[in-house]
Amino acid sequence: MILTVTPNAALDVTYQVDALTPYATHRVAAVAERAGGKGVNVARVLHGLGTPVLATGLAGGPTGQRLRELLVADDVAEAFLPVTGDARRTVVVADRADATGFWEPGPTVSAAEWSAFTAHFAALLAGVKVVVLSGSLPPGVPATAYAELLALAHAAGAATILDADGDPLRQGLRVQPDLVKPNASELHALTGIRVDGPDAARTAVAALRELGAGDVVASLGGGGLVAVSAQGVWRARLAEPLTGNPTGAGDACVAALARGLLAGQPWPERLRDAVALSAAAVLSPVAGTVDPDVYQRLRTEVIVDAC
């Protein structure tokens, strides 16, 4: 079983337009409403692949209730803890080339509510093999939140994946997550190294591992992935990057990495899956969805090289 944690879950609203023009009025061709947040997207992708998964986090108010209803409708198992404040919404405007996002900050969470969630999380860990901790923290939740949850997961014998940024990531590294998945800007913020290609990524990843990370998979966007572990160093990519809606592509990558960790999959195959799922997500108009046929086709096109 994989447990995904989304402290700042959201109701995702995606507007599809022909082309996004600043300061102009747009006719929306289609609207999609989904339960969202990084860990929720990971859970939905895993469920679509047939991997046992449970999604948890904080989800309060009418928006949080709607989010949970949408998860039930998608047949994704959930154990979100209600809080007093209303869950946030995220709005994505996607055109044929890319996407523009607007993220609300989320509800203010009290110290008592966060304490209740840590107890709730600990109770969910029985039988869990991999824990995925993803995304931003809502106001009121301490920057040490992921460090607290990582410690609980490790004590329960679960492997951990951390996908966060800023101080929550820095604090989490002190508890030595088994796998960290930063992007280029997150690597730069933590290490001071500007990641402008795979060589710089390897240097930045080495610095990140010195801060406490175990294995690291760095996302370079269209440039693919660079993975550094005790077993070796690899780069995985498509020959040509794809255009589309990148929202949720990183979450699809994390889903593949969690699935590979659960199965003990060799690194080259794990990275092949991660690139293919990420690319399939880019071609999907809505975050957290992947076309299985597209994923399988792209998987045959992924290049994986040992470095």
Burial bucket for residue 306 (CB in 10 Å: 0-12, 13-18, 19+):
exposed
Q: Evaluate whether 104 touches 90 at the Cβ level (below 8 Å).
A: yes
Alpha helix locations (H) across the chain? 38-48, 61-73, 111-124, 145-155, 166-173, 184-191, 198-210, 249-263, 267-282, 292-299
Considering 163, 251, 273, 293, which one is annotated as catalytic?
Answer: 251
Q: How far apart are CA 189 and CA 167, in angstroms?
A: 10
SS (H, E, C) 36-76: ECHHHHHHHHHHHCCCCEEEEEECCHHHHHHHHHHHHHCCC
Q: How far is CA 273 from CA 109, 138, 276, 282, 298, in A?
A: 36, 31, 5, 14, 9
Q: Name the residue among 36, 37, 67, 288 with its Cα closest to residue 163.
A: 37
Q: Evaluate whether 213 touches 250 at the Cβ level (below 8 Å).
A: no
> Is there a catalytic annotation at residue 251?
yes
Instruction: Give me the sign of the Cα torsion angle 15, 20, 23, 26.
Output: negative
What H or E segment, with its residue span, contains residue 2? strand 2-6
Q: Does residue 26 sit in helix, strand or coil?
A: coil
The radius of gyration of the chain's CA atoms, rounded to the nearest angstrom, is 18
Q: Is the backbone of residue 244 left (phi > 0), alpha (psi -120 to 50) or beta? A: left
Instruction: Give me the sign of the Cα torsion angle 244, 250, 251, 256.
Output: positive
For the annotated catalytic residues, the residue numbers are 251
